């Protein structure tokens, strides 16, 4: 049963990572400020839903499977908290910014892409770390 829980967590992480990679292209969908705000809102809501599902399945696997709390789990929790915090701040910045000014709009779109790339790197690093842990290369 624990294998199924970890497998479902793993599948959700891969879906989340795919969504993050696709999300880098989100600013291309919204070429005008109002459309960009809508795309950003939808992206943020899906992001939060997927991130919450990933966290929930992971915690269920840990507690239901009676797995020991390890350094890897601490790293996962910290990465999850960081990407959620950054995503919320990113959306608030987009929501509050005056995107009618062309330069502000360009800066916000650029920040969206950069933040999305950082989130991709963080999640990919965690996936890579867990793969190395599963193969016995790294012990945490």
Quote the CA–CA distance of 51 and 87 in Å, as a whole number. 11
Helix (H) or strand (E) holding 4: helix 2-23
What would the two tokens of residue 39 be? 């795309």
Each of the 140 residues of the chain gets a pLDDT tens digit; together they read: 888 988 999 999 999 999 999 999 888 887 888 898 999 999 999 999 999 999 999 999 888 888 888 898 999 999 999 999 999 999 999 989 888 888 999 999 999 999 999 999 999 999 999 999 889 898 87
- How far, in Å, are 124, 128, 129 from residue 25 at the CA level? 18, 23, 26
Tokens coding 72? 């890897």
| Contact (CB, 8 A) for 21 and 73 | no
Alpha-carbon span 69 to 55, nearest angstrom: 14
Q: Could you tell me the pTM of the whole model?
A: 0.87
What are the boundaries of each domain within the chain?
2-135
- Joined tokens for residue 24: 């880098």
Euclidean distance between CA atoms 39 and 44, whole angstroms: 9
């Amino acid at each position: 049963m624990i294998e199924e829980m970890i497998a479902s967590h793993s599948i959700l992480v891969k879906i989340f990572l795919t969504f993050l990679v696709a999300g880098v292209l989100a600013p291309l969908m919204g070429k005008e400020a109002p459309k960009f705000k809508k795309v950003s809102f939808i992206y943020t809501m899906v992001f939060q839903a997927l991130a919450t599902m990933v966290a929930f399945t992971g915690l269920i696997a840990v507690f239901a499977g009676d797995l020991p709390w390890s350094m890897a789990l601490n790293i996962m929790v910290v990465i999850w908290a960081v990407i959620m915090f950054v995503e919320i701040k990113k959306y608030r910045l987009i929501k509050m910014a005056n995107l009618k000014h062309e330069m502000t709009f360009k800066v916000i779109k650029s920040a969206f892409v950069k933040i999305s790339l950082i989130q991709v790197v963080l999640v990919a690093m965690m996936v890579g770390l867990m793969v190395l842990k599963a193969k016995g290369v790294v012990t945490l």
